[in-house]
Amino acid sequence: MLLNETEPSQYFEIPPNWIYRGEGNCNVVLSLPQLGKILRIRKTGRPKSFIGWLVKWLSDILDWLYGKGITEELRDLQFYSTVMRPLVGRKYTSEACQVILNKTEVNTLENQLHKYRSDFRKHKILQYGRASLFDDFAFIPENDYNYLPFILSDDTFAIELKPKQGWRPLSEKHFPVCIYCMHQYLKLEKKKIKVLSKYCPEDLFSGNEGRMLRAIKSLIEVPQNNLRIFKNGNLIYGDHLKTNFSNIVENIFDNGENLEQLIEEFCHLIRKSLTTNFMNVDSTEHCEEKTFCEWNKIIQESSASNALPKNSVLEKILSIQMLDTEGSDYYCKLLQKAQLEDWNYVDMLLDKVTNEHICMKCTIMNLGNNSRSEQEIDLAFIPYLISAIAKDCSLMITLKRIQEDISDNLEIKNIISTNYGHFLVNIGVFDLYPKRLTSIRKHCQRNKEVYKAYLKATSRLSSIENLK
């Protein structure tokens, strides 16, 4: 059942040719090629005992009778549409709608997914009653290119990036390296990874060409869960599928002459895509308050001589990350003084944001700065929690090669030129749902653990070097 339909007896039927696209901590994602959509299904903890299963069974019945799961999904969709889409930009995000899945279908799907899911993800199961449809960014809709006066390749390539945190708030400035880089040592210690990645998010977000290229090459070398490449919707490169990358770039550029140069050109293509303003209009926000916008502008311009171009996808993501000026330590201490529900802030924020034309970033900063009363203390955490979404979001760069010479400047924004031809490019940002309030404590504890693991590992390496 779609969001706006009224009869509860109608359900959305999952097409039989679905493809398991992946999953994160909270959701399983399926590609529906027949519809050109992504189905996002919420997960919940797997009960560990008979009593736990009984409680879940009763909970499912109550949730269905009172529509709790449906209401929560609708709340999250409203948050996505009202807050995150304006922040990131509608050009870079998808329309979304809620769907209702039949309980029997969810149980059947659970069994079918078992062979695709990683063991460390199986402690969670699909949550009954919570699912949504989004555009599948692994494809470019035909309506976006049918009007173009040139021939495009049949194949579509999509590069999925999880860029992570490119900005350090005040309480993280003293760390010797960024959170992501330190986290590598903790993952290695816990045997979640076999080799350290040289990728640094601060390189990617720097705007400096050399640093950005270094970051992209590091992702290719050790993709982990930060890089995946798809061809016509099917995964062809990633952490558990490291096929010959030379074959992939040959395919993308339809050229096999100089593989080393092709890989270099691929990295430049990705960098250009991340730093190009693809917005339909030059949407320099008209902001009268300037609470955040002016500060953001000063910081970005002074932090690097090669600041990210305004309205490029990385600039949009980084500016949202910068809403967190203090860091998790500050908010964790503030949290000790409050008795709050996990999702209260979402409803409170939606009540406050009523005007589509307001500057969303300044509004969020003002709510955070001015909300210290017991009645509205939930709002004080909003800048951090929205920043956390941008620190954990994903983006997809989708490419179709232009099959003819278009040396004449057509002034089409989403065409990127390379030494090996031109590409029609589309960019989508996803994983933009709200974080729970208690994630602040989780982030604070994680930061302590990664710092400790980093110091332990570097101290050990230093000792080995001294022995030599």
**Top-confidence range, 5-19, 341-355, 392-406:** 392-406
Per-residue pLDDT reduced to its tens digit, 360-389: 888 888 888 876 666 678 888 999 999 999
| Alpha carbon distances (Å) from 252 to 28, 153, 262 | 29, 10, 9
**Top-confidence range, 25-34, 100-109, 276-285:** 25-34
Per-residue pLDDT reduced to its tens digit, 135-166: 999 999 888 777 788 899 999 999 999 999 99
Percent helix, strand and coil across the chain, each rounded to 5?
45, 15, 40
| Per-residue pLDDT at 357 | 67
Helix (H) or strand (E) holding 339: none
Question: Stretch 64-92: mean pLDDT, rounded?
Answer: 84
Contact assessment for residue 393 and residue 228, using Cβ atoms and an 8 Å cutoff:
no
Question: Stretch 412-428: mean pLDDT, rounded?
Answer: 91
- CA gap 382, 331 in Å, rounded: 10
| Per-residue pLDDT at 313 | 97
Per-residue pLDDT reduced to its tens digit, 286-342: 676 667 777 777 676 666 556 889 899 999 999 999 999 999 999 998 888 777 788
Question: Stretch 438-446: mean pLDDT, rounded?
Answer: 94
Reply yes or no on whether the pLDDT at 434 is more than 50: yes
Least confident residue range of 104-118, 193-207, 453-467? 453-467
Contact assessment for residue 179 and residue 450, using Cβ atoms and an 8 Å cutoff:
yes
Report phi then psi at 379, rounded to 5: -65, -20
Task: Single out the residue of 308, 89, 297 nearest to residue 202, CA to CA.
Answer: 308
3-state secondary structure 67-120: CHHHHHHHHHHHHHHHHHHHHHCHHHCCCEEEECCCHHHHHHHHHHHCCCCCHH
Per-residue pLDDT reduced to its tens digit, 224-243: 999 999 999 999 999 888 78
Question: Which domains, from first to last, does the chain contain?
Answer: 19-136 (3.30.200.110), 141-468 (no CATH)
